[in-house]
Amino acid sequence: MTNEELQASIKRVAKQDRFQHHDYFNIDELLTSEQKMARDAVRDWVRQEVSPIIEDCYDRAIYPRHLVKGLAELGAFGPSLPQKYGCAGTDETTYGLMMQELERGDSGVRSAASVQGSLVMYPIYKFGTEEQRMKYLPKLASGEFIGCFGLTEPDHGSDPSSMITNIKDDGDCYILNGAKMWITNSPIADVAVVWAKDEAGDIRGIIVDMDTKGVTAPEIHGKLSLRASITGELVFEDARIPKSQLLPNVKGLKGPLSCLSKARYGIAWGALGAAMDCYDSALRYSLERQQFGKPLAGFQLTQKKLAEMITEITKAQLLTWRLGTLMDSGKATPAQVSMGKRNNVITALTIAREARQIHGGMGITNEYPIMRHMMNLETVLTYEGTHDIHLLITGMDVTGINAFK
Ligand code: TGC
Ligand code: FAD
């Protein structure tokens, strides 16, 4: 089957998305009407466009590429970047709420938006020239271009400072060699932001057009998680990249790490969306399903699970809202972002596992979103810095002692 045929074969089911918003501490009162409007617009779109197709895409490991247009129309690509570049110019809390709703649909759909906005558009905006911004940002915002971000290497994941991908000066070009691994969107990308060492050993960011000779992006198959997202490698064999493609305004690991701070912040919100979907499904199922002559929700052990889930969701909502206000005032530290990402992802994964139990056997099927969220969250626990890496970042922040070195 060709790629076009595969995309055309995506099944749309009429099954209703019955998600209801749970806001135990009236956190909506803390949001502006613009923030709620943006959130609700994404929620409606997910209901109409993602929920009817996502189980089929997940089952057959198809990246639903046609969603890119809708994501662009929602302003989900780099929402907080300036309007001048075709972006929505929202605050950071709005960006977070959008990621929450996308991941309520599927982590892979949120990934598509995170990578494009936080990992490709943000570095071009933050570290690029005005010419680079005008060349790439409007096309990425409109979804005409798909971007990817190459940091991880086959032998250097948690420790990107040891990367071996490199650029060498060759007149008006750099010669790029090396390989990147686990790159979301690389097989379908038009452009990649790649991090490589220069001859002085400094990490630099370079914008690579994917049709450059010597650049390939083989797809990684066999993923049992994030199946509605496409992942690949990036291989560079003497690829000649014009010097004008170098991001001039940053040097060192703080370049990619500051993009990651943006994306990790979005994941903190996103994981909350997945947790809310699992809780909502478990609450409804436990009220409707009867055993021993009464609803599952009537048993104390089920109530314990549900009460703990909504408590953890509420704590995470408060943490995330506060992180959003810190981001909006420019005061959030990378360590606070790490705490938000780590806490919310493990909270969501724990809730997914409990929700799976409440659904009994049905919980392992794709009649319900639980197992898909659970499997996705295993990736989310690992990418953008693993659970343990974020713990060590918090440990370093509170003790002042670096456990990495
Ligand atoms: P270290 O010496 O601590 O720091 C180097 C420089 O970077 C600065 N810095 C940050 N800047 C901005 N934001 C942050 N979050 C920052 N963290 C550190 C730091 O101040 C320093 O600046 P300077 O001026 O002194 O040079 O670096 P280290 O080599 O010891 O590493 C620290 C460590 C382990 C925390 C870091 O390497 C790390 O975070 N590792 C995890 C790697 C990771 O997260 N990879 C993610 C790959 S991309 C991805 O997964 C995308 S998934 C996409 C999808 O959603 O589908
Ligand atoms: P490793 O670094 O080998 O870690 C393995 C285990 O060892 C982990 O549990 C880790 O916590 C632990 N560990 C490592 N160091 C320490 C330590 N100092 N102390 C204690 N424990 C430690 N990367 C990109 O650049 N761009 C992308 O778009 C991208 N998309 C991804 C999509 C998917 C589906 C996946 C799975 C990954 C993606 N990644 C991407 C890569 C991701 O960021 C890495 O997988 C992650 O950073 C971990 O690296 P690793 O897999 O090499 O694990």
- Segment 254-279, tens digit of pLDDT: 999 999 999 999 999 999 999 999 99
**Average pLDDT of the chain, as a whole number:** 97
Query: What band does 49 get if pLDDT is binned at 50, 70 and 90?
Result: very high
Q: Nearest Cα to 151, choosing from 215, 115, 196?
A: 196
Domain boundaries, the chain: 3-141, 147-245, 254-399
Mutate to test the pocket of ligand 2, among 346, 382, 390, 394 (most ligand atoms within 8 A of CB): 382
* Residue 396, ligand 1, Cβ within 6 A: no
* Residue 226, ligand 2, Cβ within 6 A: yes
CATH code linked to domain 254-399: 1.20.140.10
Which CATH architecture describes the domain 147-245?
Beta Barrel (2.40)
Q: What is the mean pLDDT of residues 71-82?
A: 98
CATH code linked to domain 3-141: 1.10.540.10
Characterize 47-77 residue by residue with b for buried, 16 or more Cβ atoms within 10 angstroms of its Cβ, and e for exposed.
bebbbbbbbbbbeebbbbbebbebbbebbbb
The predicted structure's pLDDT at residue 122: 98
Mutate to test the pocket of ligand 2, among 182, 261, 342, 384 (most ligand atoms within 8 A of CB): 182
